[in-house]
Structure 1
C-alpha cells in the first residue's frame, strides 16, 4: 500500500517487469488487506474491457466514490442506466456533430495566444495554461454565453473534488461523508457550488425554451435537455446535472493532460515539431483550421497519439469481477478488483520497441496494422469506451494546429514529475519558451514565468 500511494506508476511498471502480464498485489494492513489483479497485456485488456466485459463491472470502491461526488452520469452509471444514457447522448458526440464546436475551440486558443502576447509573449506554463484553456473550452461549449462565470466555478471546485474522491477511493476504512471533518466540509461546499451553478443554468434553459445565450440551442446543455430517443425518456434535471458534471470533469482534465504533454514533447524534439509545423502550414497556409482540414494532417495525429501513448490521462481503468474468469491463463475470482493499465501496456516492450522513446512514426498505418488492438487504449475500450473521443481529438488537433502556426516551443525541462489522481497531470509548472513560428528557435526569448 505504501508503494501504491508513494509512486503508483512506478509500482505498476515494476510489477510487470518482475512478475509478468497478470500480477496479484496484496496491499494494506492485516485485517484490511485488498487483493488487486493487474492486467498488463493487450489481449488481457481487450478481454476485460471488451470481449468479456459482462464479467467485469464498474462498481469498484473508486467508482462508487465517483458516483457519490459527481453523480450517476455516463462515467459511473451501470447497467440499464448506462445503456439509456448512452443511447440518448451518443448522437450528440458523433464526429459530424462535434465539428460544430470548431470555431468555439479556435476562439479560445486565439484568446490564449492573445493573453500570452499581453504577458510579453516570451514564455508559458503549459500545465497551467492548458488547464485554463480546456476549462474555458468545455464551459463555453456546455453553457454558451454563461461560460465565463462557469469557468471560474469549475476551476475553483473541480480539482478539490477530484483529489477528495481519489483519497476516499483508496481508503480501506473511511468516515461517512456526513461526519463534519474539514475534508468533508470542503468537499460539500465545492459540490454545493457546482450543483447550484448547474441547477440554475438548467432551470434557465428550460424557462427559455432553448434560446438563452449567443449560441442559442447550439450549446451542449440545451442539446442535452432536448436529447430524445425512440425507446428512452428524456433526462430529468438531476440526470442533466450529473451529465454536466461528468463532462466538466472529463472534458477538461483529460484533454489538458494530453495537450500539456504533446506540446512538452514537441518542445523537446525540434525535428518533430518542425516537421509537424511544415505539414500544418502546407495544408492551412496560416489560416484558421477547420474540421475538414484535419484528415489532411496525419503527422499531427501521429504526434498526438504518441503523446497519449506516453502520457495516457487515465493511467488505470478499474473493474470488479462479477464472476470467476480466466485471464491470461490464470483464474481471477468473483469479487476481485481488476486494474487494467494503459500506462503500463503503452510501455510494454512486446508492442513498443524502445517504449520510452518519443516516436510518432509508430502510428504510421503500416506499423499499426500488425499491432494488437489494445496495445493503445488511452480512451478506454469496449461498451464503456469514451463517448467523447471525437470531441477530444477535435480539441487537440485544432489547438496544436493553431499554436504551431504562431509559435515555436522550446526550453522545457528534461523531466516533469507526475501527480497521479483521477487523471495524471504534471506535478508542477511546465515552463517553456515561446518564439514566433517564423523565428529560429535558437533566438527564443527566456521564459517569463
Structure 2
C-alpha cells in the first residue's frame, strides 16, 4: 500500500504538564520554600528534573513559578533569549523601591543608558587601579588578627573587610563616616526587602507599622549620607578645590560620567548607583571570601599549597593587580568556593512571551528562576558535587564544560559589571590574609539561607595562627 498521499501527523508540541512537587494541601510548597528554599530547589531538581513547576500559597494568593536548572535552559533565559525574560519579579520591584532604579534593577532604555555611562568606570585598567584600596584594608585586618590571635568568625570579619573596601573605593577618604551608617542600616533594608518580596500579604509601605517605620528611617539615613557626600564632591569639583578628598574615587567618577548621547547622571541617579554598588559590591564579595577561607580552613593541605604559591609569587611585597594571573591555585580555590556557595544562589526573571524550554511550554507572564545553587551541584555536570576540589577549574577542565554549568556572575547582556573587580578584590585580599595566617576550622558546617544574596545562617569560626 502506498503512503505517498497519506496525511502527515503534526509534530508534537511542547509539553504543558510540567512536573513538580505536590506540596501540602491548600498552601502547596510554601512551608518548604520558607524554611529552606535552597534545599527545596535541590530536591525539586533531583525528584522532578531540570524544569520544575512550583506552587506556593493559598488559593487566591497562590504564586506559581518555574525553576530551570539545566545549563542549556539557563543560557536561554540569561543570554540567547534574554529579551524575553525581564526583571519584573517581585524581588526586583522591592529592591527598586528600597534602593532606587540602578543597574541591578533598571531595564530597557534606562538600563542601556546607565550601562553606557557606568561601563568606563569598570574597565580592566580602571579596576586594576583599585588594588591599593583592597590591600590597604586587607593589611589592616591581617594586622588586627596578628595582635588579637585566638578565633574569629569569618562572616562578620569578611563583611567588614568588603564593606570598608567598597566604601573606600566609592567614597575615598570619607570611608570612616560612611562605614558605620552602612553597616548598621543596610541589613535592616535587606531583611525588609526579602520579607516583602516573598510575602503574599504585603502591608502598604505607607502604613505606620513598626517594620515600615524602621525601614523608612534607615533608608532615609542611607539616602542622606550618599546625598551629602555627592553634594560635597560636586561643590568641591565646581570650585576646582584642591581640598577635594579624592577625585579618583568611584563616586567622583560617577558624578562626572557623561557623553553626548546619554548626558550625565543627576544627583538622584548617582545615589541610586552608589546604593546598588554598596548592596551588590560588598555582600557578594564578603560571602565568597568568607566561604573560601572557611573551606581552606577545613582543607589544610590545600591551604598549605596555596600559601606556598602566595609566598613564591609575592615574597614580602604588596600584592598588585599584575599578580592576579600569577596566583592560579588561589584563583581556582576561589572559583570552587563560588561553585559551592554562589553569592546569588537564585536569580529571578519573568517571561514576556510564551516560550519553550527543554521541551516544556512556559506561558507568557510566568515567573522563572534559575538557581546556581542547584546547577552547581548537578552530579551530571560535577562529579561528587559536594566535594571541595579547586582543580575542577584548571583551564583544561573549564574548557570542556558548558558555559552555564558555572555562572556565579550571571551571564548574557545582564552579566555582573563588577566581575573583574570582585575577582581582583577577593584574590588580593585572600592572598594578604593567607600569607600571614594559618586557619583551622572550628565550625565544620555553616548553615545558609537565601536572601537578596546568600546569607550565612550560623557562624564560620576559625582559629588563627600567625605564620
Q: Do Structure 1 and Structure 2 share a fold, with TM-score over 0.5? A: yes
Distance in 2 (CA, whole Å) between partners of 1:381 and 1:174 is 31
Alignment of 1:291-302 (within 5 A): 291-302=321-332
**1:106 equivalent in structure 2:** 135
2:185 aligns to what?
157
Q: Partner of 1:90 in structure 2?
A: 119
Q: Is structure 2 residue 50 aligned with structure 1 residue 21?
A: yes
Give, in angstroms, the shift of residue 417 of structure 1. Answer: 1.0
Asked if 1:193 corresponds to 2:190, the answer is no
**1:387 is matched with which residue: 417, 431, 438?**
417
The DSSP-based 3-state class of the residue aligned with 1:116 is: helix
Structure 1: which 4+ aligned runs deviate by more than 6 Å?
A: none
Gaps of 5+ in 2: 1-29
In the alignment, which residue of structure 2 is the partner of 1:260?
Answer: 290
**Pair 1:291–1:215, CA change in 2 (3 A):** farther
Q: Does 1:128 align with 2:181?
A: no
What SS does structure 1 have at the residue aligned with 2:401? Answer: coil
8 Å CA contact retained: 1:306, 1:363: yes
1:401 to 2:441 alignment = no
Aligned with residue 83 of structure 2, among 40, 51, 54: 54
Other-structure match for 2:205: 177
Cα distance between partner residues in 1 of 2:208 and 2:276: 26
In structure 2, the partner of 1:141 is: 169
* Separation of aligned partners in 2, 1:301 and 1:159: 29
Deviation at 1:215, TM superposition (A): 5.5
- With structure 2 as the length reference, what TM-score do the two structures score? 0.92
Are positions 1:115 and 2:144 aligned together? yes
Aligned equivalents of 1:222, 1:114: Cα separation in 2: 30
Corresponding position: 1:286 with 2:313? no
Cα deviation 1:338-382 (Å, max 9, x = unaligned): 001000000011110000000000001111111100000001111
The structure with more radius of gyration: 2
Write the distance in 1 (CA, Å) between the matches of 2:82 and 2:253: 30
C-alpha RMSD of the superposition: 1.2
**Separation in 1 of the partners of 2:64 and 2:54?**
6
Match of 2:356 in 1: 326
Measure the CA separation in 2 of the matches of 1:8 and 1:326.
25
Q: Which residue of 2 aligns with 1:272?
A: 302
Tell me by how many angstroms 1:428 deviates: 2.2
Say if 2:249 is the partner of 1:219: yes
Q: Does residue 348 of the first structure (1) align with residue 362 of the second (2)?
A: no
Tell me the number of residue pairs that the alignment of Structure 1 and Structure 2 aligns: 436
| Counterpart position of 1:3 | 32
CA distance in 1, matches of 2:398, 2:271: 40
What's the offset of the Cα at 1:212?
Answer: 7.5
Report the Cα distance in structure 1 between the residues aligned to 2:124 and 2:336, rounded to whole angstroms.
21
3-state SS of 2:264 partner = coil
Q: Is the 8 A contact 1:144 1:213 kept in 2?
A: no
Using the alignment, how far apart are the partners of 1:113 and 1:249 within structure 2? 25
Mapped to 2, the partners of 1:56 and 1:46 lie a distance apart of 11
How much does 1:122 deviate?
A: 2.3
Q: CA deviation at 1:244?
A: 0.4
Separation in 1, partners of 2:268, 2:446: 40
1:3 is displaced (CA, Å) by 0.5
* Offset of residue 113 of structure 1: 1.7
Partner SS state of residue 258, structure 2: coil
Pick aligned residue for 1:247 from 274, 277, 283: 277
CA 1:258–1:214 in 2, change beyond 3 Å: closer, same or farther? Answer: farther
